[in-house]
Structure 1
């Protein structure tokens, strides 16, 4: 009889076996089989992660300090539980340590009297055991909750745990990190400024020449670096736009620079521009937009966010940027700014684009920063008589724009104005049910 605890894992293996069919290797699979096998492997990996965190918690419990040399890890010849797990998996001790941390945070506990208690983080436990999030994603959530535990209101912390466990499902680890950064500011808004001060105190720029090259290494706080990031990204976007009207990619004078090369050229050209005051630098549209609600700005508490950056900034930094003229206030629809043009104008206005940035946060599909996107009509202006209004506009990078038009993806906007939500709808060959996926800024806003 199969252990009920292992049934989800066996079901995941069966799905993979079905997807793989009778092919000898992955290269022999059809596209449909590759998609199915990739999805099945993801489920299988997360199921294994769930079981592994439970085993890690058991090993840690049997290796607790009070057992001394009789502890399981030491008995097996290892210094600690993480070393024992790493030796079995062939992974790093850091990965094994994270398994132990997640396992201990999500395993049922016992009181001093031996009574059974719920897990420290029950929502994370449910998500891990259900195979909805990976152990790595759970480790990021647990680390955040542990950091905020002594400062945050318990009710707010519990709410954040539920939100994070739900929102992390279906996200890559990089996207979870972005979600975590926003969540930390929401859980502990008073902690934003100290973390920012620490980052500002460790800022540095080192320069040295070696092998005919100048090497730069810059570390700077998010607020101070916002203008650098915006300028470089705008320069890169301009370079890619120029390629659309440039000679054929195989031509002798074609631009074959990588993104990293273009970013290096951006720094050099921006500095040359400052020294020589040239007026032909390709940086049109480089704008730093800082978002903050009026109450937080007036009271000096809470936090602000910079469009295109994962990490929130303090209110004091927001005010400094405003005083220096480096902030675009998002008071939209006032002072004659028309956000709905109907059929009168074909191109979106600056005010409309800022409104779309407020709603979408960048590319609504892949999340690239605003500087690397364009405003596009959902219903084409020329072919479908689509109006140049917010409800018919969306920010997309060039790649996602082509994907929408060429691969059968659709976009739906629910609501009106900057508070609306953007939904990305995959084609039937990607998802037969065509289940809408939340896009834009709302994907990462914990307090949405």
Structure 2
């Protein structure tokens, strides 16, 4: 009887593992479907990894592993419709049936990524056949033998030695260039004093965000990249910034009025850059970027001026009311924030305190792109409604981290 019970318990666990593994594989397939359709358009997130972090409440590394595994198992499509073949499609089908553990999948995928494309079908078939009766460690050993057979000489060792005769570089040098993809590359070398000051500045701006839109799982590189962007915003907002041709430093954005209202389409950034019309809506709220609104034939309808939307007096009122970024759980101070129009000025929204809320750059973009919404409550303070996929009840939330004014209302 005891043995019968043991067998029944083990069988039940095996059945549940099959369900769990099949569900995990289906989640991966759904994430690839979202990615092929455009995660920004569907959910307002920059990547399916960031979306899955919040949906599953898992660390960034775990979410990235799920997405990486799904890409290897599931054929997908680029946004332009071109196919993206899977590295191990047959393994993906077996995973959907719940027949493979996660370590087994990772073992097979790890081998398949090193196998030349012309040998992948045979190698994957051999690995899956062996996986039916062996554990993932044994399959890894078989994979090593397959790779050794395909490349008996192995990787050529690196015999180069570092060049110790490189001449000394200048104490400060910096290069900034734009690639054809629209990505900018920054490289530089600095003396110890400049490096220490830059490190102190970026350290203070690169702290992890604490807010109700989920944990901050950005990598150190991502946090310091965002900190560099924030440092540029702070510098552009400085009244001591030198003039250029009699004007404060600025960037011009040209966008059609129709695209600005709909948020669909593209805008010209500076001389050669391109951004989406949705991004232009964000900058048009309150930024050191001047919006140039064009009519159907390209004629200028409205050429903005720096800070024309939120005046210095109105900005001070926002500082006093919101005390910093108003997004729930965000600790950013007022000097790191922008004025967001609850009803966009391109849609007829007035530039007045009752239609404005103070937000940091990160949460300003999140509000424009996702299902979060904001309103001014009856007591005159902003409150936020999370998207349905985070809270079905959409219970309003407020930021209680900032210190209130030191006197009674």
TM-score by length of 2: 0.32
Which structure has the larger Rg over C-alpha atoms? Answer: 2
Question: TM-score, structure 1 length as denominator?
Answer: 0.30
